[in-house]
C-alpha cells in the first residue's frame, strides 16, 4: 500500500509542476484560452463540480479513470461504515439495536485495520455491511454526522453495497460523482464550448493545500467559488473547532479582497442544496447561526 501511495504522490507532483509550467508560459504569451479556477473550503464539492463539467463538456471518463475509481468506491463504502461504527462507540454513544451484529462490526474493523478497505468486497464483508446498514441505530448515527466526520456519499454507497459487490462491477457516472478523494495539488480539465477553449483548475480546499496555489492563478478570467449550504452545522476535517460555513464565508471574503484577484470575475456557487433541503427538516439553522430569524423553509432559508 505504501509504495502505491508514494507513486501516486510522485505522479501528482509531476502533474502539478507541468500545470504550473504551462500557467507561467500562458502569462508570457498572453494565451487566449479561458481559464477558470474552482475555489472553496475542504469538502464543499469542488471536485464533483469539476467531474460534472468533464461529463457535460468533455468526453466523460476514460476506461482507465473508471477502473481507477473502483478502489475509491470500495474505500468510501467501507470507511463510511467504519466511521459510523467508531462514532457510535466514542462520540454519539449509541449501541447497535441488534447486539448479535457485534461480530459483523468486527469484520469491518478488521478490514480497515488491515488496510484492505480499498479492495473488492469479500462475500463476508458485503453481507456484514448490508446487515449493519439495516440496523436502525446505525442509520440513526449516520443522521448525526454533524457530530463527527462522515462523507456526504455514505448513504448512497451503503445503499448500493450488493450492486458494488457484483462480479464485473463497473462504476457508473453517478458512482464517480459521489466518490470522494481529498484533492491535493492541482487537477485540470480541458474542454471546448463552441469556439472557446476552457481550462478549469480544481485545487485542494483544506487549509494546508490553499497556501500552495493562491499565487499561481492571478491571470485566471474567473473564479467559481463553491460553498456547501448543507454544512451549516458541521466542522472542518482539519480543525474540529471551526464551523465549515463560517470558514467558507471567511475564505470567500479573503478571496474577494485578495490583491491577486482584483480584476477577476467571481461567481458564487451554492452547492449541495439537496442535502440542505433534507437536513433543514431536522437540524434547525439556528444551531449554527443563533441570530437567524428567517423561516425554516428551503427557499426562504437559502436565499
Q: Give the global pTM.
A: 0.78
Residue 57 has what pLDDT? Answer: 86
Of 149, 146, 164, 137, the residue nearest 77 (C-alpha): 164
CATH class of 12-42+183-302: alpha beta
Residue set of the binding site? 43-48, 152-153, 177-183, 202-206, 271-274
Domain boundaries in the chain?
12-42+183-302, 64-178
Give the active site residue among 139, 172, 206, 242: 206
3-state SS assignment for residue 185? coil
250 is catalytic: no
Per-residue pLDDT of the chain (303 residues; tens, 9 = 90+): 444 445 555 666 666 666 566 656 655 554 568 889 888 887 888 888 888 888 888 888 899 999 999 999 999 999 999 999 999 999 999 999 999 999 999 999 999 999 999 999 999 999 999 999 999 999 999 999 889 999 999 999 999 999 999 999 999 999 999 998 876 677 888 888 888 889 888 876 566 666 666 666 767 889 999 999 998 988 887 778 888 899 899 999 988 998 888 889 999 999 999 889 888 888 888 877 888 887 776 655 554
12-42+183-302 matches 64-178 in fold: no
Residue from 69, 77, 104, 180 carrying the catalytic annotation: 180
116 classed as catalytic: no
Give the whole-angstrom CA distance, residue 76 versus residue 243: 23
Q: From start to end of 133-280, where are the E strands?
A: 186-193, 196-203, 222-228, 265-271
CA–CA gap between residue 139 and residue 124 (Å, rounded): 21
Question: Under a CB-based contact definition with an 8 Å cutoff, are residues 157 and 142 in contact?
Answer: no
Known binding positions for GTP? 43-48, 152-153, 177-183, 202-206, 271-274
- Separation of alpha carbons 201 and 253, rounded Å: 20
Extract the annotated binding site for Mg(2+): 47, 183
48 is catalytic: yes
In the CATH hierarchy, which fold is given to the domain comprising 64-178? GI Alpha 1, domain 2-like (1.10.400)
Tell me whether residue 22 is one of the annotated catalytic residues: no
Q: How far is CA 4 from the centre of its chain?
A: 22
Please indicate whether residue 43 is annotated as part of the active site. yes
Instruction: Compute the distance between CA of residue 272 and CA of residue 226 in angstroms, rounded to an integer.
Output: 10
Catalytic position from the list 202, 231, 233, 247: 202
Amino acid at each position: 500500500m505504501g509504495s502505491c501511495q508514494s507513486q501516486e504522490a510522485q505522479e501528482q507532483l509531476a502533474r502539478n509542476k507541468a500545470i504550473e509550467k504551462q500557467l507561467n508560459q500562458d502569462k508570457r504569451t498572453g494565451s487566449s484560452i479561458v481559464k477558470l479556477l474552482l475555489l472553496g473550503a475542504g469538502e464543499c464539492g469542488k471536485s464533483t463540480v469539476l467531474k460534472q463539467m468533464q461529463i457535460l463538456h468533455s468526453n466523460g471518463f476514460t476506461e482507465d479513470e473508471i477502473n481507477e475509481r473502483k478502489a475509491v468506491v470500495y474505500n468510501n463504502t467501507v470507511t463510511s461504515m467504519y466511521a459510523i461504527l467508531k462514532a457510535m462507540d466514542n462520540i454519539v454513544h449509541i449501541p447497535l439495536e441488534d447486539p448479535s451484529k457485534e461480530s459483523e462490526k468486527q469484520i469491518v474493523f478488521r478490514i480497515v485495520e488491515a488496510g484492505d478497505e480499498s479492495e473488492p468486497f469479500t462475500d463476508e464483508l458485503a453481507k456484514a455491511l448490508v446487515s449493519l446498514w439495516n440496523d436502525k441505530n446505525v442509520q440513526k448515527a449516520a443522521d448525526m454526522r454533524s457530530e463527527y466526520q462522515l462523507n456526504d456519499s455514505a448513504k448512497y454507497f451503503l445503499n448500493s453495497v450488493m450492486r458494488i459487490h457484483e462480479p464485473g462491477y463497473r462504476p457508473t457516472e453517478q458512482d464517480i460523482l459521489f466518490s470522494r478523494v481529498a484533492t491535493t495539488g492541482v487537477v485540470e480539465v480541458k474542454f471546448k464550448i463552441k469556439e472557446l477553449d476552457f481550462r478549469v483548475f480544481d485545487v485542494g480546499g483544506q487549509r494546508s493545500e490553499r497556501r500552495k496555489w493562491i499565487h499561481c492563478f492571478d491571470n485566471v478570467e474567473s473564479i467559481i467559488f463553491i460553498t456547501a449550504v448543507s454544512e451549516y452545522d458541521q466542522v472542518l476535517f482539519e480543525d474540529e473547532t471551526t464551523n465549515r460555513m463560517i470558514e467558507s464565508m471567511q475564505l470567500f471574503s479573503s478571496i474577494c479582497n485578495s490583491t491577486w484577484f482584483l480584476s477577476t470575475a467571481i461567481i458564487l456557487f451554492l452547492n449541495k442544496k439537496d442535502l440542505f433541503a433534507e437536513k433543514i427538516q431536522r437540524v434547525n439553522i439556528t444551531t449554527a447561526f443563533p441570530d437567524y430569524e428567517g423561516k425554516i423553509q428551503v427557499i426562504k432559508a437559502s436565499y
